[in-house]
Structure 1
């Protein structure tokens, strides 16, 4: 009986230790600008103590946040680059360079043009990397869906 208890305890400890960290949760929305323009809005909610890197990071740094949108339907057109909020520019301890990152919440907006009164679902994805003050998680890709 003691062996069974020990085995169960070790198994529970291993499962607890092997939990996957997911410090960023993504949500999407659409902001209409006009009948033919809108913003695809991707919002990252970032757990306390973690930070998400900008779309523009120096070479040799972390993986930059990168958005892709499936425009194979040719029903919309991307306008310019995806915009991002102000964030923080710091001398990053892990990468030993000046880097822009976000904590708490980050909002990214991609302007698009489309035909008037278009009913459309736009699929996309975001690749991103997060770190806390002592470690980084491997880059992650999350699927995004925007309903117009």
Structure 2
């Protein structure tokens, strides 16, 4: 009986400890500017205590946030993906000045639409998050922007 209780306790502890952290949730939105232009908006909702890093990070720092848009014949990207202000700090862990986001981050990509049909623009965002005690491995998330 004691062995059974011990095994159950160890198993439960392992399950609870090994739960995967997922501190960032992504949402997409499209702001249609005209019949031929739109802005794709990717919003990251970040759990308290975690930091999502900028698209521009110095060498030997954390993995920067990056977007890869799947091309198709319905649109063209205009310029690079823009990001909000965020916070720029002298990070003691990475020993460098780094820009990061907490709570929420917005990234905007302007596109030129080639027709008036409804279609989806698919993208992948790669990012890394850290808190005061740990950094999680870089993660990729699929995004879909619905053009109507």
Aligned counterparts, 1:103-118, within 5 A: 103-118=102-117
> Any conservation in 1 of the 2:61–2:94 contact (CA below 8 Å)?
yes
Matched, 1:95 2:87: no
SS of corresponding position for 2:12? helix
Between the aligned partners of 1:67 and 1:79, the Cα distance in structure 2 is 14
Between the aligned partners of 1:87 and 1:129, the Cα distance in structure 2 is 15
- Report the counterpart of residue 145 of structure 2 in structure 1: 146
Deviation at 1:43, TM superposition (A): 0.3
SS of corresponding position for 1:60? coil
RMSD of aligned alpha carbons: 0.8
Deviation by residue 1:48-103 (Cα, 9 ceiling, x = unmatched) = 000000000111111000001101x2210000000100000000121010000000
Matched, 1:130 2:129: yes
Q: Moved runs in structure 1, 4+ residues, more than 3 A?
A: none
Deviation at 1:122, TM superposition (A): 0.9
Higher mean Cα deviation, 109-118 or 44-53? 109-118
Between the aligned partners of 1:143 and 1:117, the Cα distance in structure 2 is 24
Between the aligned partners of 2:80 and 2:59, the Cα distance in structure 1 is 19
Q: Which structure 1 residue ranges, 5 or more long, are not aligned?
A: none
> Any conservation in 1 of the 2:74–2:115 contact (CA below 8 Å)?
no
Between the aligned partners of 1:147 and 1:35, the Cα distance in structure 2 is 15
